[in-house]
Amino acid sequence: MASTGVCADVGIIGGSGFYDPSIFGSVKEIKMHTPYGAPSDIISIAELSGIKVAFLPRHGKRHAIPPHLINYRANIWAMRDLGVKRIIAPSAVGSLNEEIRPGDLVIPDQFIDMTKSRHYSFYDGAVVGHFSMADPFCPELNSLASKAAKGIGVGHRLGATYICIEGPRFSTRAESLLFKGWGADIIGMTLVPEVTLAREAGICYTTLATVTDYDVWAMKPVTAQEVVQTLRSNVEKTKSLLKALIPMLSTERACSCSKSSEEALV
C-alpha cells in the first residue's frame, strides 16, 4: 500500500487520446512521489464492480509529455506502490500488416525494441536483474482481454508483434518497410520500457492497441491530424472493453508474473 494509505488492484495507463478517468465514475485524485521522481500526472483512484482502479494518463492529461521523455520508471513504481497487480495499457499504434486495418483492436504478445535513450530497469545499481522477456505480456491477462472483447462483440486480433520506436517522430518509409519485412505487425512509441518495468515489478501487463493508420510503408504519409481523428473513434471502443474486462479480474492470479524476480536477480 502506498504511503498515502490508498491502494488499487488494477492500473490503467491511458495512452494518446485516453486521458479521462470519468468512465469509472467518481474518482479520488492522489499526487504521488517515487524514488525516480513524479509520475506523468496525478493518479485517479476509482472503483468498478468492487475492484479498485488506478488511472494514470501516460502523456499527462494535456498530452504534454512526448514518448521519449515519459518517466516510465516513476509510472510503474507508483502503480507498484499502490499495490497494483495488473496493468491494462490502452495505446495508439500504426499498422505494418495489410490485414490489420485502421480502427482494429490488437492485443500483442511480442515486441521488438528500437528505442534508444530510455531508462530500462529498476536494477541499475548494486543489484543487477536479468529478467526473461521470452513472453513479455501476461498470457492470462491477454486471454481475459480477448474473452472480454468477444463478449461485447468487439472484433480484435489476439497475438501480434509490436515494434517500439523512439519517437516522437514517425518512421521514414525505409524504416517502415524494414520493420514490415521483419514481421512486425504494429508500431508505436510507448510500450518499451513500460512492459519490461512491469515485469521487473511483478505486475501483469497487457496492451489494448488500437490502430489509427497504416504506417508509411503504405506510401501515404501519416499526419498527426489523421491519427487523432481515428483515435477519437477508437476511444469509446476501449472504454467499453475496459468496463467488460475489469470485472473479470479475480484477486488470484494464475500466471507466473509475480514470481519474475525469483531467477532474475544476480
Mean pLDDT, the chain, integer: 93
Tens of pLDDT along 175-213?
Answer: 999 999 999 999 999 999 999 999 999 999 999 999 988
- Residue 190 labelled as part of a binding site: yes
For residue 4, is pLDDT > 70? no
Average pLDDT, integer, range 215-234: 79
- Residue 119 labelled as part of a binding site: no
- Is 213 one of the catalytic residues? yes
- Please, which pLDDT band fits residue 222 given cuts at 50, 70 and 90? low
- Is 124 one of the catalytic residues? no
Q: DSSP readout, the chain?
A: --TTS---SEEEEE-TT---GGGGSS-EEE---BTTB--SSPEEEEEETTEEEEEEETTTTTT-S-GGG--HHHHHHHHHHTT--EEEEEEEEEE-STTS-TT-EEE-SEEEEE--S----S-BSSSBB----SS-S-HHHHHHHHHHHHHTT--EEE--EEEEE--SSPPPHHHHHHHHHHT--EEESSHHHHHHHHHHTT-EEEEEEEEEEE-GGGSS---HHHHHHHHHHHHHHHHHHHHHHGGG--SS--SSGGGTTTTTB-
- pLDDT (0 to 100) of residue 206: 99
- Residue 92 labelled as part of a binding site: yes
Tens of pLDDT along 110-159?
Answer: 999 999 999 999 998 889 999 999 999 999 999 999 999 999 999 999 99
For residue 39, is pLDDT > 60? yes
- Residue 16 labelled as part of a binding site: yes
- Going from the N-terminus, what domains does the chain have, and what CATH number goes with each? 10-259 (3.40.50.1580)
- From the candidates 9, 113, 185, 215, give the one annotated as an active-site residue: 215
- pLDDT (0 to 100) of residue 2: 54
pTM of the model: 0.94
- pLDDT (0 to 100) of residue 56: 97
Tens of pLDDT along 226-266?
Answer: 777 787 888 889 999 999 999 999 888 999 999 999 888 87
- From the candidates 41, 81, 185, 213, give the one annotated as an active-site residue: 213
- pLDDT (0 to 100) of residue 82: 98
